[in-house]
Chain A
Amino acid sequence: MTSRGTASRFLQSVLRNGVGRYVGQLKRVSIVFSKNGQSSLGIREFIEEGVVDYATKNPGTVVYVTPSPCRIPRIVAEYMNGNVREKTVTSKTSKEISEILTQMANQSGLDIIRIRKPFHTDNPSIQGQWHPFTHRPPSIGPIKPRTLED
């Protein structure tokens, strides 16, 4: 895994989220599980107890619960910028699943790849960035057009 061979991005926020109102970036969550299957036990427990509270806590997110005959239960999260994150939750407890869901709700949809710097600023310089004439004031005055001297 070289730094040039793997994807990387700079730290950024999604459209300055949080400067005004904070908009949760999780658009919809689809929980795919099976009604009888021991790997979906935790999911079924979570749906019995915690999914309604989760949905009320995140009013901007749509939660779809789709039982289907499948061997591996999955949580598919779609974000406002179009990124889709799928997570398999085979044989996880209800508590772990609620933790996973809260983590997904707090994420922005940006790619989970190496972040080049842990900081970002739009105004890096307050006093003005250095240029070769910062500490060398001009020795001749401002250059004006030549006047005809009679």
Chain B
Amino acid sequence: MVFLTLSCLIRSRGPDRYWKVQELLKNARHFRGRKNRCYTLAVRAVRRAFVYATKGRVLKRHNMRTLWISRIAAATREHNMKYPTLIHNLGKTSIELNRRMLSELAITEPRTFLSLAKVAQARREEGFRAALGDGKEPAGVFSRVVVTH
């Protein structure tokens, strides 16, 4: 070091430290404890929070789908049916409602959901008749699928 007097030891640092620190702390303001105030602790906490946010995007889709499925299963069990049969038979009648819409219908339009469950049940029975009965009976109404595309 060539600094021979105290006045030469003083360095001029960057001018932006306050704003860079605030930019990071604003992401930590809703945390608990000292990690919402102290920069060193906040850096680590904010990094973890961002990592969890990234991982959570996949988890959110996964969790929402399991929630919808459990809601649809509960609603179909009220109508004496099971979730796999409902989904399979609705697919066979080409009623292409996804699990989100089915769960919302089950909550907000219970009579529509009842009619969907009945359609699935009817298609199921037609399938049984076609498979187990002899070929003399005509195929049922719901087995006639009209393909428009």
* A interface list, Cβ under 8 A from B: 1-5, 124-130, 134-135
Instruction: Count chain B residues whose beta carbon lies closer than 8 angstroms to a beta carbon of A.
Output: 19
Cα–Cα distance between A48 and B8 once the two chains are bound (Å): 56
* B interface list, Cβ under 8 A from A: 27-30, 49-50, 52-53, 75, 78-79, 106-112, 114
Please report whether the interface of chain B is mostly helix, strand, loop or mixed according to DSSP.
Answer: helix
**A55 CB to nearest chain B CB (Å):** 38
Residues of A within 8 A of B112 (CB): 127
With A135-B78, A135-B114 known to touch, is A3 a contact of B53 (CB < 8 Å)?
yes
Q: Which residue of chain B is the closest to A131 with respect to CB atoms?
A: B110
Whether B108 pairs with A5 at a CB distance below 8 angstroms is no
**A117 CB to nearest chain B CB (Å):** 12
Cα–Cα distance between A134 and B105 once the two chains are bound (Å): 14
Q: Which residue of chain B is the closest to A3 with respect to CB atoms?
A: B53
Can you give 28 contacting A-B residue pairs, CB < 8 Å? A1-B27, A1-B50, A1-B53, A2-B49, A2-B52, A2-B53, A5-B27, A5-B28, A5-B29, A5-B30, A5-B49, A124-B108, A125-B107, A125-B108, A126-B108, A126-B109, A127-B108, A127-B110, A127-B111, A128-B110, A130-B75, A130-B106, A130-B107, A130-B108, A130-B110, A135-B78, A135-B79, A135-B114
**B110 CB to nearest chain A CB (Å):** 5
Whether B30 pairs with A129 at a CB distance below 8 angstroms is no
In the complex, the 3 A-B pairs of residues with the closest C-beta atoms, listed nearest first: A125-B108, A2-B53, A127-B109
Best-surrounded residue of B29, B78, B79 (most CB of chain A within 10 A): B78
